[in-house]
Amino acid sequence: MVSQTKRPRIVIIGAGFAGIRAARRLSRAGAEIVIIDRNNYHTFVPLLYQVATGFISPETVAYPVRNWVRRIPHARFLLAEIQRLDLERQQVIADGLSLDYDYLLLATGSQTRFLGVPGAPEHTFALRTLDDAIALRHQILWSLEQAVRTGDARYLVFVIVGGGPTGVELAGALQELLVGPFHRDYPELDLSQARILLVQSGDRLLPSFPDPLGGYTLRQLRQRGIDVRLQTRVAAVQPNAVELSDGTQLAAATVIWTAGVLADKPELSRPDDWDGAARGVAGHQKVVVEPTLQLARYPNVYATGDVAHVQQNGEPLFGVAPEALQQGDAAADNIRRQLRGQSPQPFDYFDKGRAAIIARHAGVAYLLSKLKLSGPLAWLLWLGIHLYYLPGLANRSALLTSWLRDYFFRDRAYRQRLTPPSATANRAAVRPGSEA
């Protein structure tokens, strides 16, 4: 499809944090903007675990892309699956449609990396897409019902793989769900026998945070009865069972994989072209970009978010939402510079900090690379940050209402199991396109 106007065409693949941020930043560039995604909504990934544990509805974290697009001059949205890119011909092939571009921004996000663990792709639940979160919620509810019906203890065992923010936050939320709403919903079950096991390969939790905050997190989880195994790996996953690296065999109906990501790169017309187009492919299969976020061989192509390997001060960035937002801004600014005949500028990430929530009144935060917070203040800060960044007034209102309901009544409204569980639990093989 050739542009019907004389305006330069900018194609953005991915309606996640970086893609949407870039599109909005380009609103005054005077260019035609085409946003392509396999979903017609933007997913607020940091709150997916709250969908999975019944805090909030799926719609709360899904914001319609067209709500943004209609406010951007000369922009349109295309719901399609990317089949391949032809960087030489400057074409995007999506659902059989060929789309020419002058500038291309890749913001395709990531998919789950199973690290070669046998059985993990088939028998675990991921938590990277909205479908993943809904499937996990259904599985948790199904497990409780099966425990009532059969009395089998494995239905009350939940194994979480990965001790980063997602794993920690999920473990805390699941524990509160078991001792709160589920304790009232299932009087026939002795939920004191329920078990949450958090497996972390490293020697501490939250490795992207300073050591003291990881230690605080470990103590808080263990005080709540969560079994945290450090320096332990999952060796294999079987239907209803998991094997750990220390030889432990554990019967568990629900295994959740939050460890490891893999860049979700579109296919190219020339199979070896990623190495030729960029400065190689780094760990997690991310595209190594120039400091300006451009591909080395194709200066009109940018990569941002989880698909891009970006370094600062010789160290790779962590791949979190604030980085994607700033990269979206930087890529958009550089495209605008190119449109004006100017040179792109290197990306410089300003690290405002990071925060994670553990449970009620317990959180950790590391601000401006110097200030360490833990406890209720960090918990409140986390709540405020996520309420601020969640797009849409209606979404924020729904989120705040759900949080207040849980806080004052210790009740979670979204405990309905609307569809049956998948025969093979994992949904992560479906490549996400809306994350960053």
Which CATH number fits the domain that encloses residue 132?
3.50.50.100
Are 287 and 402 contained in the same domain?
no
Residue 421 lies in a domain: no
Q: Of 278, 305, 339, which marks where a domain is finished?
A: 339
Q: Which residue has the tokens 């979404």?
A: 395
From first to last of the 436 residues of the chain, give the pLDDT tens digit: 656 678 999 999 999 999 999 999 999 999 999 999 999 999 999 999 999 999 999 999 999 999 999 999 999 999 999 999 999 999 999 999 999 999 999 999 999 999 999 999 999 999 999 999 999 999 999 999 999 999 999 999 999 999 999 999 999 999 999 999 999 999 999 999 999 999 999 999 999 999 999 999 999 999 999 999 999 999 999 999 999 999 999 999 999 999 988 999 999 887 666 766 666 676 678 998 999 999 999 999 999 999 999 989 888 898 899 999 999 999 999 999 999 999 999 999 999 999 999 999 999 999 999 999 999 999 999 999 999 999 999 999 999 999 999 999 988 878 887 664 453 444 333 333 334 3
Q: Of 285, 318, 339, which marks where a domain is finished?
A: 339
**Active-site residue identified among 59, 145, 169, 267:** 169
pLDDT of residue 236: 98
Neighbours of 278 (CB within 10 A): 24
Q: Which residue has the tokens 């997190």?
A: 217
List Cα–Cα distances, 242 to 166, 219, 246, 254, 257, in angstroms.
20, 25, 12, 10, 12
Question: Which phi-psi region, left, alpha or beta, contains residue 119 (left: φ > 0; alpha: ψ -120 to 50)?
Answer: left
Handedness of CA 358, 363, 366, 367 (dihedral sign): positive
d(CA 325, CA 16): 9
pTM comes to 0.93
* Nearest Cα to Cα of residue 45 among 391, 406, 279: 391
Are 176 and 320 contained in the same domain?
no
d(CA 37, CA 79): 5
Are 335 and 382 contained in the same domain?
no
Are 106 and 132 contained in the same domain?
no
Are 373 and 326 contained in the same domain?
no
Number of structural domains (the chain) is 2
Residue 369 lies in a domain: yes
Rounded to 10 degrees, the C-alpha dihedral 325/329/335/340 comes to: 180
Are 323 and 389 contained in the same domain?
no
Are 299 and 400 contained in the same domain?
no
Residue 431 lies in a domain: no
d(CA 206, CA 93): 39
CATH number of the structural domain spanning residue 98: 3.50.50.60
d(CA 187, CA 282): 51
Q: Find all residues with CB under 8 Å of 144, minimum gap 6, and list them.
A: 155, 156, 182, 185, 186, 189
Are 295 and 164 contained in the same domain?
no
Listed in order, strand segments (DSSP E) in 29-133 are 32-37, 41-43, 62-64, 75-79, 82-86, 91-94, 97-100, 103-106, 110-112
Which pair of tokens denotes residue 322?
């604030």
**DSSP at 305:** G
Are 106 and 146 contained in the same domain?
no
Domain of 255, in residue numbers: 120-259+352-409
Residue 107 lies in a domain: yes
d(CA 212, CA 218): 10
pLDDT of residue 49: 98
Are 146 and 17 contained in the same domain?
no
Are 361 and 255 contained in the same domain?
yes
State yes or no: is 169 an active-site residue: yes
